[in-house]
Amino acid sequence: MQPIAGAWFCQIELTNACTKACVYCTRYVQHVRRDQQFYMDLLTLRKALESLEDWPNRIGIIGGEPTLHPQFEEVCQVLREYYPPEKFGLWSSGGRRFDRFRQVISDTFGFISYNEHNQHQQDVCKHQPLTVAISDVIDDPVLRRSLINDCWVQKKWCPSISPKGTFFCEIGCSLDVVLDGPGGWPIEKGWWKRTPEDFEDQIERYCQQCGMCVPLERELAVDRLHSTTGKDTKEKVSPGLLELFREHQLRNISERDVEVFGRNLSMREMDQIRPGWSPENYRGDIRNEDTADESEDGSWLMTTESFFSQYKASE
């Protein structure tokens, strides 16, 4: 694992509301209870930005779908008070509100990561089955810890700030919401200076319930609400995590929604999968399977100017 300060972005989780319901969503959107849905208030947003004073890298605004925030224009005004556009990136799946706020987005964000989740993407893009918890499928605690310590998410993705606190990993941030966790570290200056030695509380609480670091065959990233084919819409969930989901009365966990993945994985099986395993390449519509690092080029994160020069508004 790497220190938090080594991440290329820190994400501010503006909301977990979304118009999509994709299987293996990293925010567990289709499972979130309505009372777990949040919109970060402006005071917390200010605290988040102030906590990133001297943060050496960029700041992402992510969801859910960030433009669904009922005060999105005010959010952008606050962002502009703190940093110039080149400091900010917006993660969005588009939609009417994205179109509506095109000018304010251009004024606020220097970069855009746009992932529409259209039908073509659903036919070719694959997600890592993060709902197959490592604690359910790997018995050996030494092997589990080795995989967790080498997790690609922590190396390539982002620490996060939500209304519930700060987190060394964005998946842990999401799990804290759906499992009604105690929250993260306080939103205060310097939280991001933590090193791997400081992560133990969050590793034990969240990483054990995640499958991102486990070599598994990836699954089509189908949006259950908008898919026209209906294929591969069942989400693989390991037994222990499914029990936790039921305990917390999450949504879409019936037999018609999930397939129980109830077996242990052997080292041999994982070694067979590992050579062609590229879990970070969830955009198979624009990237070759052999090149998967999302931070490498503008196909993942475009400058706002370049993006809008070729963007067509939704019908």
Length of the chain: 315
Higher-confidence residue of 221 and 249: namely 249
Estimate the crossing angle of helix 42-51 against helix 72-82, to 10 degrees: 30
Q: Give the Cα separation of 48 and 81 in Å (integer).
A: 13
What local confidence, expressed as pLDDT, does residue 231 receive?
60
Please say if the pLDDT value at position 154 is more than 90. Answer: yes
Q: Residue 14: is it exposed, middle or buried by C-beta count within 10 angstroms (0-12/13-18/19+)?
A: buried
Tell me the three state secondary structure of residue 73: helix
- Helix or strand or coil: residue 165? strand
With CA atoms as reference, report the closest residue to 31 among 211, 241, 301: 241
**282 within 8 A of 221, measured Cβ to Cβ:** yes
Q: For Cα atoms 186, 66, 291, give the angle at the middle one, nearest 5 degrees.
A: 95
Low-confidence winner among 71-80, 217-226, 283-292, 300-309 (lowest mean pLDDT):
283-292
**Rounded Cα gap, residues 3 and 7, in angstroms:** 8
Contacts 24+ apart (CB under 8 A), 153-157: 153/212, 153/213, 154/1, 154/2, 155/1, 155/2, 156/280, 156/293, 156/294, 156/295, 157/7, 157/280
pLDDT reading at 250 higher than 80: yes
pLDDT at 255: 93
The domain segmentation of the chain, as residue ranges, is: 4-310
pLDDT band at 291 (very low <50, low <70, confident <90, very high): very low
Give me the pLDDT at residue 287, please: 66
Q: Distance from CA of residue 30 to its chain's centroid?
A: 13
Measured CA to CA in angstroms, residue 287 lies from 120, 180, 294, 296 at distances of 14, 36, 9, 11
The answer to whether the CB of 20 falls within 8 A of the CB of 93 is yes
| pLDDT for the residue numbered 55 | 98
**211 within 8 A of 238, measured Cβ to Cβ:** yes
Tell me: pLDDT of 290 over 70: no
Residue 60, classed as helix, strand or coil, is strand
User: CA 153, 307, 298 angle in degrees (round to 5)?
Assistant: 40
If one looks up domain 4-310 in CATH, what number appears? 3.20.20
| Residue 12 near residue 59 (C-beta atoms within 8 A) | yes
95: buried, middle or exposed (CB in 10 Å: 19+, 13-18, 0-12)?
middle
Instruction: Give the sign of the dihedral formed by CA 221, CA 227, CA 230, CA 235.
Output: positive
Q: What is the pLDDT of residue 284?
A: 82
